Chain A
Amino acid sequence: MYTETQKQQFSKILANIADSLDIPESRYKEAVSRYESIGKWLDANDSKLHIYKPTIYPQGSFALGTMVRPINDGDEYDIDLVCHLEIDKDNITQAQLKETVGARLKENETYRKMLEESRRCWTLTYANEFHMDILPAIPDYERLNDCILITDKKLREWQKSNPKGYARWFVDRMRAIFEKRKMGLAESMRANIEDVPDWKVRTPLQRSVQLLKRHRDIYFNGKGHKPISIIITTLAGNVYQNEADLFDALFNIIAGMTNPKNIKGQYGRYCIPNPTNPEENFADKWNEDEHLPKAFLSWLGQLKGDMEKAIEQRDLAGLKEAVGPIFGAGVVGTAFEKIEPARAKSKTYPEVRISNPDKPWVF
């Protein structure tokens, strides 16, 4: 049992926690300027890539507004970027594409030192700041616009992807509340709505995904079978109903994510289709290793229990104690500091001594 006030207080704290998990605005801008520089380098006039009109754009949590600070404070933020070249797949192989992009990056003295290759991408590590994963891609002319083909060292076929389409789907899933929040933000900034950049808006869906990912990172720290972010984000997007309150949103999302009808398809097989490509099943691996869905469900069971325990707390001290271990003491501390000033003001409550009070009655 909990009161509306308890819920509001908890929602406020959850929003503050998500806020501290998010990439700070200054870091966000820094990241954008970093990848724009990469884009300029790739597209410079003396670049071999210039004729392919290279563009760089973010994908994944950075593009969706669902970034989560790494558990260890010193670790870098992961930022996923698509490096798009206009080349027909018939004119280039996966290895050639990967190599072309890598070669141009290596021509830059600074980038060369920071560069590492992995299965699908080139990673630039800005020490103590970012890991920038640069994913070489070409257009997929067989499918709709924005569909791309990407490389994978271990696979013979080009891999299909559509990060822009996915981002559009995600925003669509929170459209109503997104517009409302954006309008509210415009009012508070005394700006026109079109002058408010989308990345400044945070909806309960985005917040919920951040909190889910954070809880997962802590729950699975050092353990295997950790659910992948795309599954969390897709399921959360599928079940979100534009709830305005963060606690309601998160609680309903947890319930929806564990509902078999949302994770199972035909013949009881696990099925979480990519919303931009129904042929792709994000839960493919779940059907090969039963530990994966089991770990997923027990994790969410734990989160649900943690949430129920936290909302029963009436005072801030109890709440802090309850959420500290589940989202990390650091971010939780910051989240509570933000509401301390309001509390400090009311510290001067007058002292009342009670003697011989009337006994409460009720008709």
Chain B
Amino acid sequence: MIKSIDDKKELLIKHTKQLRERFSALELVELEPGRFVVKGNLGFRVPYNGKIIEDDYDIEIQIPDDYPHSPPDVKEVGDKIPKNVDFHVNVSNGTLCLGAPLAVKTTFGRQRNLLWFVEKQLVPFLFGISYKLKYGKLPFGELSHGGEGLLEHYKEVFAINDEAIALEFLRMLAGGNYDEHSMCPCGRDLKIKKCHRKVLKKARNKQSPEEFQKEYWSILMFLSR
């Protein structure tokens, strides 16, 4: 755990240096004491389906207070991406929505550094946008908006087709604690510890019950429409 601002700053300097070896037009800026962004031009070449798509975006990566625990937020500041939900831009604060919250945290959680974040999360997203702007659709698919998309996501996470079961898993996570000796909601007639234990545990490590609760309500709202 990072204790002080100085530790965080030191880590950020290290991570930015590593990032800049690949993406040299990005730089670390301290907006005010303890508040950092990494900004500049992010250019990439992505080979895809026998073609190479090359593009660049002016971006601002907002470093969260608890970095590297939580993944950063990103804003596209060059006005290249239409600022609407069809391009996965959160209308309320202008940040890019790289994926479902749990997915973004999980992917980031594998390495927890800026180069990883940019290469594995940000560039794939921006490449998708470049592709969509050119060909009209995202290359790797996308989730629906809001609760509907979350439900699609959790069905994938728990590898089940039944919406009610996905919701039940989410309810358990939102409740904070559950008995691993109870029967797994998935219906395979196994106890949780012999069934979905690992998936649930991983999810719990990434998000707080409150965060699951919020998503749970979003899905309920969608279902009750």
Chain A interface residues toward B at CB < 8 A = 1, 3-5, 314-315, 346, 349-354, 357-363
Nearest-CB residue, chain A, relative to B142: A360
Quote the shortest CB–CB distance from B74 to chain A (angstroms).
12
- Bound complex: CA A315 to CA B143 (Å): 27
The reply to whether B44 and A349 form a contact with Cβ atoms under 8 Å apart is yes
The reply to whether A358 and B98 form a contact with Cβ atoms under 8 Å apart is yes
Chain A CB within 8 A of B5 CB: no
Chain B, 57-108, CB within 8 A of any chain A CB: 78-82, 85, 88-90, 92, 97-100, 103-104, 107
Chain A CB within 8 A of B216 CB: no
Chain A CB within 8 A of B211 CB: no
Chain A CB within 8 A of B23 CB: yes
Chain B interface residues toward A at CB < 8 A = 22-23, 25, 41, 43-48, 54, 56, 78-82, 85, 88-90, 92, 97-100, 103-104, 107, 119-121, 123-125, 127-128, 133-134, 138, 140-146, 149-150, 153, 218
Chain A residues lying within 8 Å of B125, measured Cβ to Cβ, are 357-358, 360
Quote the shortest CB–CB distance from B85 to chain A (angstroms).
5
Chain A residues lying within 8 Å of B120, measured Cβ to Cβ, are 357
- Bound complex: CA A5 to CA B133 (Å): 13
Quote the shortest CB–CB distance from B84 to chain A (angstroms).
9
Chain A residues lying within 8 Å of B88, measured Cβ to Cβ, are 360-362
Nearest-CB residue, chain B, relative to A6: B80
Select which of B48, B54, B79, B107 is within 8 A of A4 by beta carbon: B79
The reply to whether A350 and B90 form a contact with Cβ atoms under 8 Å apart is no
Given A359-B103, A360-B98, A361-B88: A350 in contact with B82 (beta carbons within 8 A): no
Q: Beyond A358-B124, A362-B97: 11 further Cβ-contacts under 8 Å?
A: A315-B134, A350-B22, A351-B44, A352-B119, A353-B47, A358-B103, A358-B107, A360-B99, A361-B88, A361-B150, A362-B90
Please name 17 pairs of A and B residues whose Cβ atoms are closer than 8 Å in the assembled complex, sorted by A.
A346-B56, A349-B44, A350-B45, A351-B47, A352-B45, A353-B46, A354-B48, A354-B124, A354-B127, A354-B140, A360-B125, A360-B138, A360-B142, A361-B99, A362-B97, A362-B145, A363-B218
Interface SS of chain B: helix, strand, loop or mixed? mixed
The reply to whether A359 and B99 form a contact with Cβ atoms under 8 Å apart is yes
Nearest-CB residue, chain A, relative to B141: A359
Interface SS of chain A: helix, strand, loop or mixed? loop
The reply to whether B97 and A363 form a contact with Cβ atoms under 8 Å apart is yes
- Bound complex: CA A151 to CA B191 (Å): 106
Quote the shortest CB–CB distance from A1 to chain B (angstroms).
7
Nearest-CB residue, chain A, relative to B130: A314
- Bound complex: CA A43 to CA B48 (Å): 73
Select which of A3, A314, A349, A354 is within 8 A of B54 by beta carbon: A349
The reply to whether A350 and B103 form a contact with Cβ atoms under 8 Å apart is no
Given A360-B138, A362-B85, A362-B145: A5 in contact with B79 (beta carbons within 8 A): yes
Select which of B44, B134, B146 is within 8 A of A314 by beta carbon: B134
Chain B CB count within 10 A is highest, among A1, A4, A354, for: A354
Nearest-CB residue, chain A, relative to B96: A360
Nearest-CB residue, chain B, relative to A8: B79
- Bound complex: CA A362 to CA B43 (Å): 24
Chain B residues lying within 8 Å of A361, measured Cβ to Cβ, are 88, 97, 99-100, 103, 142-145, 149-150, 153
Quote the shortest CB–CB distance from B30 to chain A (angstroms).
25
The reply to whether A363 and B143 form a contact with Cβ atoms under 8 Å apart is no
- Bound complex: CA A362 to CA B48 (Å): 24
Given A360-B142, A361-B88, A361-B142: A352 in contact with B43 (beta carbons within 8 A): no
Select which of A351, A353, A357, A362 is within 8 A of B149 by beta carbon: A362
Quote the shortest CB–CB distance from B5 to chain A (angstroms).
30
The reply to whether A359 and B123 form a contact with Cβ atoms under 8 Å apart is no
Nearest-CB residue, chain A, relative to B88: A360
Quote the shortest CB–CB distance from B224 to chain A (angstroms).
17
Chain A residues lying within 8 Å of B218, measured Cβ to Cβ, are 363
